[in-house]
Structure 1
Amino acid sequence: MESVPRAITSAIIKIVIWVIPVILLAKVIDKTDPFSFLGLRHNFKKSLKWIYWVFLVFILYILLNITVLDNKINLHIGFDEWLNVFLLVGITEEIVFRGFILNKLMDSFRFWIANTITSLLFVLIHFPIWIYKGLFAFHYILSSSITIFVLGALFGYVYKKTSSLWLVIIIHSFYNLLGLIFH
């Protein structure tokens, strides 16, 4: 059970380094309610209308992996992966990237320019993980960068359409979960 303290430490670090500064920036500098600014307080019902389609896509993805690609589901996921990869990464990254950065960039740029910049920054934040895990090979970096850029742009589009960060957090978290169970 040595990974439980490490998982909790990692979770606390993510919250302290990512979420708290964004909340403080919204509150102190923008003098606004951070939860409204980030899209965490409103339009939850609007995002629920999208949930059915999102879960349909996830179910189709699972069925495709099991039936066509003959991939096996791995449910032996440790506490660290459940807490940090599934639960917290979606929350912390979306609060920072779509909730804060995309919102701030849309003050100065049209949506698609702001979304492109945010998506590029979203790709860059993954580089330290790839280096740490020894995955810094050209073919891996290229395919992963494209995938993460497209996901970032999609997350930004969904956020713009719903004006709620909750659906984006759910999509991001379940995407990470699929990566865990089919990895």
Structure 2
Amino acid sequence: MLSKVNKNYIWAYFISFYALWCIRELWLVQYLDLMDSVPRAIISATIKMIIWVIPVILLVKLVEKSNPSSYLGLRHNFGKGIKWAGWISLVFIAYFIILNLIVLKNDIDFHIGFNEWLNTILLVGIIEEIVFRGFLLRKFMELSSFWKANTITSLLFVSIHFPIWFYKGLFEFPYIISSIVVAFVLSIIFGLIYKKTNSLWSVIIIHSLYNLLVSLFY
């Protein structure tokens, strides 16, 4: 079991980066929107790395005294992670095609800007999975059972979307209910895949692919 100090630093990390994330989404984004696409995308990506990933790397090195790439699941089981990512990705692709092209008759929008490619598709999968599956889920699993840890991690994963939804004017019923359910279920699935593969690359690829499909169809 983790010591009380060890438990507290996990929550201190999450609360700190969550507060900074709210500031970024509710205040700083308004100023970033005034910039051209490329500078905005690069600055936004840099801020995400500073708020989310760099503290995790420092905590793993200084508190856990471990190699970050190994500890977070980036070094081992790469082949197994890629294999699982491939199969699950096919399931997501089939689902989006059937739902949007056949059932809903939606068109595919291939006009994706640089900012969306960088921050919504490429980096989100890496950054969010390092934080939530690589770090938080692993730490909570040391405290309790996998299902309890996965549930707590998924609730926290949902919470980081609140400032985004609020900023974009999407925090309204009934949209917000479906958004919460989708984010929670996806996080549960990501947690299961991470546990099964013990590879962060599996969920990084699947997460990024899912965001790409959302960008193409919605």
Distance 2:102 2:173 in 1: 30
The aligned residue for residue 59 of structure 2 is: 25
CA apart distance, 1:2? 1.2
SS across alignment from 1:107: helix
The aligned residue for residue 160 of structure 2 is: 125
CA apart distance, 1:141? 1.4
Distance 2:147 2:166 in 1: 29
The aligned residue for residue 142 of structure 2 is: 107
Distance 1:139 1:62 in 2: 21
State the aligned residue count: 183
SS across alignment from 1:106: helix
CA apart distance, 1:57? 1.0
Instruction: Give the percent of matched residue pairs that are identical in Structure 1 and Structure 2.
Output: 66
Question: Residues 8-87 of structure 1: matches in 2 within 5 Å?
Answer: 8-64=42-98, 65-87=100-122
Q: Deviations over 1:105-139 (max 9, x none)?
A: 01111100000000000000000001101111121
Distance 2:162 2:90 in 1: 31
Distance 1:55 1:138 in 2: 30
CA apart distance, 1:7? 0.4
Distance 2:204 2:93 in 1: 18
Matched, 1:142 2:196: no
The aligned residue for residue 133 of structure 2 is: 98
Matched, 1:175 2:210: yes
* TM-score, normalised with respect to structure 2: 0.81
Distance 1:55 1:94 in 2: 16
Distance 2:97 2:65 in 1: 47
User: Mind listing any 5+ residue stretches in structure 1 that lack a counterpart?
Assistant: none
Q: Deviations over 1:14-47 (max 9, x none)?
A: 1111111001100100000111110011001111
CA apart distance, 1:99? 0.4
* TM-score, normalised with respect to structure 1: 0.96
